[in-house]
Chain A
Amino acid sequence: MTVNEKVAIDHGLNKDEYEKICDLLKRVPNITELGIFSAMWNEHCSYKSSRKHLKNLHTKGKKVIQGPGENAGVIDIGDDDAIVFKIESHNHPSFIEPYQGAATGVGGIMRDVFTMGARPIANLNSIHFGSPQHKKTKNLLRGVVKGIGGYGNCIGVPTIAGQTTFDESYNGNILVNAMTLGLVNKNKIFYSKAAGINKPVIYVGSKTGRDGIHGASMASAVFDDKIEEKKPTVQVGDPFTEKLLLEACLELMADDSIIAIQDMGAAGLTSSSVEMASKGKLGIELNLNKVPCREEKMSPYEIMLSESQERMLIVLENGKEEKAKKIFDKWDIDFAIIGKTTNSKNIELYFDEKKVANIPIDFLAENAPVYDRKWKKIKLPQSIKFKKQDFKALKIENCLKKLLSTANICDKQWIWDQYDHTVMGDTIQKPGGDSGVVRIHGTSKAVAASVDSSALYCFAHPLSGGKQIVCESWRNLISVGANPIAITNCLNFGNPEKEKNMGEFVECVHGITEASKYLDFPVVSGNVSFYNETKDKGIKPTPSIGGVGLIKNYQNMISMDLKHTGNIILVIGKTIGHLEQSTFARNILSEKKGPPPEVNLFNEKNNGLTTLKLINEMLIESCHDVSLGGIIVAITKMCLKGRKGIKINQLKGLINKFEYFFGEDQARYLVEIKKENLPKVNNILKENSVHYDELGTVIDENIEFSDEIKLSIDDLEKTYKSWLRKYMIN
């Protein structure tokens, strides 16, 4: 095939980019070379629209061993233990083929983690679907959940937490973000930087097929009417092979045979070989006839661009080939020496004894285009003055029931019942809590992890929204008694070539940066997913934040279920009753306008650290952060989990009860304490200038607002637990 501008454009490159390639090479690339450029220069691999802004992220901290730029981030959790973690999107493929798209998303992120020498110990996910009424939503949800479960369950890694939301902006572009945590000895971490010349380059894992060719390019474009035709670009997962690959890699990693290792994710063999060589400032030479292929007569172009799953590229020490091969033979995994490192600084490919590509590595990596895209600042929306009569006809008990059965608040057990969340025998907080918690096997430590996003807030005001999610992640970790350490982010946005979308991205990133700096909660890994757009309709900006924290002694972990009748419930943090952008405003008042709740980072930090102090001093029986649906939804969940009730005190403040109970002000926690501990708790809160209210007293049953208004826990439970199951059955 002759390469020209049209062919380049069909590969997703633009005219300028094609010209730049010809200028750099001082010739027209051949088709294999063009394929390689298009794979390395697409948005997904090159971060060309986002790179400029990602540089500003707060990525350093005392506990950070490895920040962004590697397969995953690494943090220190003491005693030579380190946690490797990352979140990644698999949005485009999951919309086209939900089962395989989601499954390979989980497979890909686990490979990123075990590539670094870590055994995966927990999976999480953040998944977002269109309106429940949309005709595709149900099947997409079913397929994605089955895909996540199908992969994670088979590998035997527990899925410990997640988040599911519904919004019409995802009708044409669902989001599937998968996160994995792995455990590694901090002195035995493996990196992707190749070193040394004439070192053997080894291919291990599944054979290469024609699946997933141009997957990364597909993920770098908007959808149109013809998306069904893109099905062949979706990869097919084989969790069984991944399980064998995982065990074989960890076995090989037990000694020092490996110089560098990189999984073949987006853009397959192309990006893995280029990245390893680029980081080591080396060249690489591959003989493509040596690559194990699943199909006959695959061309160099297809071999280089295939995104077949469950494959790894390794640069090995000389002389270790036999030993390594033995391990992979034992696990019945393909092992092939396909090339070597060189000092040419070029990637050189051979096929049928001919050189089929020769490109300086720098052109693909360092010289990849970087764009400073135009972006529009988004103003804080005007505040809405709710009037007395807006609330006049409303009854608090009806509002609560309605919110409990909305798609975004209702119980998600239908989902996590399908995920194995107890395998590995260390899950001490299951899905459905503020964070999932797994013990570090054989120690007294545990790690907590949570994943959050707030697209409505980010859509209303990206800067506040960006800050808010980081804070929510921090709160979710504190609520289980964990010390927040670091985050990973998955930045899901629309088309960056539009100023508004780019503005949303830039300002969300600002918000994330500001909050993570203030809270000393650095970003150690992540990815960007642009072009979540179909026929000109983009998603609401949806950065997902995955937070990780440490519990030094897992016996002190806190859960949200109410424990004992007679205990007192406090609201830590001040309630001013911010209703705009709340679930209440949207679902009860049908009001979508107004600014999101203000994020005050000082209060966030102070309230959080003080709550953590109360937990560490063993003064807290249960804890839950206040988020969607406000105080009343939060306390209801605590009641349902603990099968207890609450007698709520008469309100004292000036704000009306709807604002108090349903407002979504930030930096708040509900805590259950023993009566006798109240003076101590009061002292600590006062000393730290933390505002608190006494919400009420734990009773055996019912949520009681007054003698007249009593809601039975059984009724509330039915309302809360039935929506999703009913929706999926009908």
Chain B
Amino acid sequence: MKSSVIIFPGSNCDRDMDVALKKFGFQNKMVWHNDDNLPESDLIVLPGGFSYGDYLRCGSIAGKSKIISSVINFAKSGGLVLGICNGFQILTETGLLPGVLQQNKNIEFICKNVFIKINNKENKYFKNIEKEVLELHIAHNEGNYFCSSDELKKLEDNNQIAVSYCNKDGNCDDNVNPNGAIRNIAGILNDKKNILGMMPHPERMIDKYLSGEDGSLFFKNLLNNLKK
């Protein structure tokens, strides 16, 4: 399976994503933000980091960059687009996903392990994944997901809330919400379920010597689902 990781000026998880994708069997290419065209891909990844310094608003300038129109076309034609952390922020800025990511409620950057509950397995990202709860890592300053009540209702009705912050047993409440996100939302899908944006970083949890290994499950599973 072929994947492409977009590098924006200020991306800093691009290499980590490249390492993870290759480790689990993707043929990955790195794509510069100023390129006109995407290489042929089964998966496009917008990695974490601080694209364009995140100076105006997180992800906003990247959402207007040259390559992004190709990404939008790819997504609209049903291609798989995964945005992690800053990538999630970029996806909301392009309008491919609804809502916004505000500053964390405690107005501090947060870097730690969290548990997330998988709410929807009817998609290429989580189908057949054995666990209900994954332990992943977050590292962000703006991960506090928010959307209007209409949008929230649509997300819920349409089963688009892919993953939510929870405790190790899968219970979601305020105590385990690291950043103040509405309904503990850690990641969402679009209505067609081909676009996933999430704050946690699976690429940082890909062997037992790191903070954990649940990221490996995510990538292995995604590759298997794409092969089918």
A interface residue numbers (CB < 8 A to B): 146, 149-150, 153-156, 238-241, 243-244, 331-332, 416-428, 430, 439, 554-555, 557
Contact = CB atoms under 8 A, between A and B. Distances in A.
B50 interface: yes
Contacts of B204: 422-423, 425
- Most chain B beta-carbon contacts within 10 A, residue among A156, A239, A244, A430: A156
A419 B53 contact: no
A484 B126 CA distance: 45
A417 B10 contact: no
Contact of A238 (B53, B112, B210): B53
Interface of B: 9-10, 12-13, 15-16, 19-20, 48-50, 52-55, 108-112, 137, 139, 141, 201, 203-204, 206, 209-211
A420 B139 contact: yes
A331 B210 CA distance: 32
A424 B16 contact: yes
B33 to A, nearest CB: 11
B80 to A, nearest CB: 22
Given A422-B139, A554-B209, A239 B9 contact: no
B111 A154 contact: no
B24 to A, nearest CB: 13
B55 A153 contact: no
B155 to A, nearest CB: 28
B210 A427 contact: yes
A422 B9 contact: no
A420 B204 CA distance: 12
In the complex, the 3 A-B pairs of residues with the closest C-beta atoms, listed nearest first: A156-B12, A240-B53, A425-B16
A244 B211 CA distance: 28
Contact of A423 (B110, B139, B206): B139
A557 B209 CA distance: 10
A418 B49 contact: no
A717 to B, nearest CB: 16
28 contacts: A146-B109, A150-B109, A154-B10, A154-B53, A155-B12, A156-B13, A156-B49, A240-B9, A240-B50, A240-B52, A241-B53, A332-B9, A416-B111, A417-B108, A417-B111, A417-B112, A418-B110, A420-B109, A422-B137, A422-B201, A422-B210, A423-B13, A424-B15, A425-B19, A425-B203, A428-B209, A428-B210, A439-B209
Nearest to A430: B211
Given A155-B12, A416-B111, A425-B204, 6 more contacts: A153-B109, A238-B53, A240-B50, A241-B53, A420-B111, A422-B210
A150 B53 CA distance: 11
B5 to A, nearest CB: 14
A423 B112 contact: no
Contacts of A418: 108-111
B223 to A, nearest CB: 18
A149 B141 CA distance: 10
Nearest to A240: B53
B199 to A, nearest CB: 13
A430 B10 CA distance: 24
Contacts of B9: 240, 243-244, 331-332
Given A240-B55, A554-B209, A422 B10 contact: no
Nearest to B14: A156
A719 B200 CA distance: 30
Contacts of A332: 9
A243 B52 contact: no
B41 to A, nearest CB: 22
A557 B12 CA distance: 27
A331 B19 CA distance: 23
A239 B50 CA distance: 10
B51 to A, nearest CB: 9
Contact of B109 (A149, A155, A244): A149
Given A154-B53, A554-B209, A243 B10 contact: yes
A425 B108 contact: no
B53 A422 contact: no
A332 B54 CA distance: 16
Contacts of B13: 156, 423
